[in-house]
Amino acid sequence: YGLIGIVVLRLLDESTRVDSLLLSCRVLGRNVEEGLMAYIEERARARGARHLIGIYHATAKNGLTAGLYPRFGFVKSCEDAAFIRNLRDQAPLIYPTAVTIEKMNEE
Protein backbone atom coordinates (compact mmCIF):
# COMPACT_ATOMS: atom_id res chain seq x y z
CA TYR A 1 0.00 0.00 0.00
CA GLY A 2 3.02 2.32 0.13
CA LEU A 3 3.11 5.33 2.43
CA ILE A 4 -0.22 5.18 4.25
CA GLY A 5 0.12 7.27 7.37
CA ILE A 6 2.03 9.66 9.55
CA VAL A 7 2.29 10.27 13.26
CA VAL A 8 3.68 13.31 15.05
CA LEU A 9 4.53 12.90 18.72
CA ARG A 10 5.13 15.65 21.26
CA LEU A 11 7.31 14.92 24.29
CA LEU A 12 5.95 16.54 27.44
CA ASP A 13 7.35 16.36 30.99
CA GLU A 14 6.26 12.82 31.84
CA SER A 15 4.01 12.09 28.89
CA THR A 16 4.11 11.69 25.16
CA ARG A 17 1.21 13.20 23.25
CA VAL A 18 0.02 11.98 19.88
CA ASP A 19 -0.08 15.42 18.28
CA SER A 20 -1.22 14.14 14.87
CA LEU A 21 -2.15 10.68 13.66
CA LEU A 22 -3.23 10.28 10.04
CA LEU A 23 -3.92 6.86 8.56
CA SER A 24 -5.43 5.95 5.22
CA CYS A 25 -8.83 4.28 5.54
CA ARG A 26 -7.76 1.69 2.95
CA VAL A 27 -5.51 0.01 5.52
CA LEU A 28 -7.75 0.14 8.59
CA GLY A 29 -8.50 -3.35 9.85
CA ARG A 30 -5.34 -4.79 8.26
CA ASN A 31 -3.24 -4.69 11.47
CA VAL A 32 -1.62 -1.40 10.48
CA GLU A 33 -3.13 0.48 13.40
CA GLU A 34 -1.76 -2.20 15.78
CA GLY A 35 1.73 -1.75 14.36
CA LEU A 36 1.52 2.01 14.48
CA MET A 37 0.26 2.09 18.07
CA ALA A 38 3.01 -0.36 19.14
CA TYR A 39 5.58 1.91 17.51
CA ILE A 40 4.15 5.04 19.15
CA GLU A 41 4.26 3.35 22.54
CA GLU A 42 7.79 2.05 21.94
CA ARG A 43 9.00 5.59 21.21
CA ALA A 44 7.22 6.99 24.28
CA ARG A 45 8.72 4.33 26.56
CA ALA A 46 12.19 4.86 25.08
CA ARG A 47 11.98 8.53 26.05
CA GLY A 48 10.90 7.74 29.60
CA ALA A 49 7.24 8.74 29.31
CA ARG A 50 4.90 7.53 32.02
CA HIS A 51 1.76 8.22 30.00
CA LEU A 52 0.73 8.24 26.39
CA ILE A 53 -1.96 10.78 25.50
CA GLY A 54 -4.19 10.61 22.44
CA ILE A 55 -6.76 13.17 21.38
CA TYR A 56 -9.85 12.26 19.38
CA HIS A 57 -12.12 14.92 17.90
CA ALA A 58 -15.08 13.35 16.11
CA THR A 59 -15.70 14.61 12.58
CA ALA A 60 -17.83 13.48 9.67
CA LYS A 61 -14.82 11.72 8.14
CA ASN A 62 -13.11 9.95 11.05
CA GLY A 63 -15.88 7.81 12.51
CA LEU A 64 -13.98 4.61 11.63
CA THR A 65 -11.41 5.48 14.28
CA ALA A 66 -13.76 6.48 17.10
CA GLY A 67 -12.77 3.46 19.22
CA LEU A 68 -9.07 3.42 18.34
CA TYR A 69 -7.65 4.64 21.65
CA PRO A 70 -9.91 2.57 23.94
CA ARG A 71 -9.08 -0.50 21.82
CA PHE A 72 -5.44 -0.12 22.85
CA GLY A 73 -6.01 0.36 26.56
CA PHE A 74 -6.44 4.13 26.70
CA VAL A 75 -9.01 5.46 29.13
CA LYS A 76 -11.05 8.64 28.74
CA SER A 77 -9.54 11.55 30.62
CA CYS A 78 -11.42 14.35 32.31
CA GLU A 79 -9.83 16.63 29.69
CA ASP A 80 -12.10 17.10 26.70
CA ALA A 81 -11.33 14.61 23.87
CA ALA A 82 -8.25 13.17 25.63
CA PHE A 83 -7.48 9.49 26.21
CA ILE A 84 -4.57 8.31 28.39
CA ARG A 85 -2.62 5.05 28.45
CA ASN A 86 -0.60 4.49 31.64
CA LEU A 87 2.68 2.99 30.45
CA ARG A 88 3.80 1.95 33.95
CA ASP A 89 0.76 -0.25 34.61
CA GLN A 90 0.30 -1.91 31.23
CA ALA A 91 2.36 -4.40 29.24
CA PRO A 92 3.81 -3.01 26.00
CA LEU A 93 1.74 -3.34 22.86
CA ILE A 94 2.99 -6.02 20.45
CA TYR A 95 3.86 -5.49 16.80
CA PRO A 96 1.80 -7.63 14.41
CA THR A 97 4.04 -9.87 12.30
CA ALA A 98 2.60 -8.68 8.98
CA VAL A 99 3.43 -4.98 9.48
CA THR A 100 6.72 -3.14 8.93
CA ILE A 101 7.18 0.39 10.26
CA GLU A 102 9.46 2.61 8.17
CA LYS A 103 10.99 5.19 10.44
CA MET A 104 11.38 8.40 8.47
CA ASN A 105 12.44 11.24 10.76
CA GLU A 106 12.97 10.81 14.47
CA GLU A 107 14.24 14.04 15.97
Please tell me what DSSP assigns to residue 107.
Answer: -
Q: Using one digit for the tens of pLDDT, what is the confidence trace for 56-91?
A: 988 998 888 889 999 999 999 987 889 999 999 999
- pLDDT number for residue 71: 93
Residues in the chain: 107
Segment 28-56, tens digit of pLDDT:
877 788 988 999 999 999 999 999 999 99
In what helix (H) or strand (E) does residue 68 lie, and over which residues does it extend?
A: helix 68-71
Strand order in the sheet with 82-86: 5-11, 15-23, 51-55, 82-86, 75-76
Question: pTM score, two decimals?
Answer: 0.84
- Radius of gyration from C-alpha coordinates of the chain: 13
Whether residue 106 has pLDDT greater than 70: no
How far is it, in rounded angstroms, from Cα 37 to Cα 7? 10
| Strands 5-11, 51-55: pairing kind | unpaired
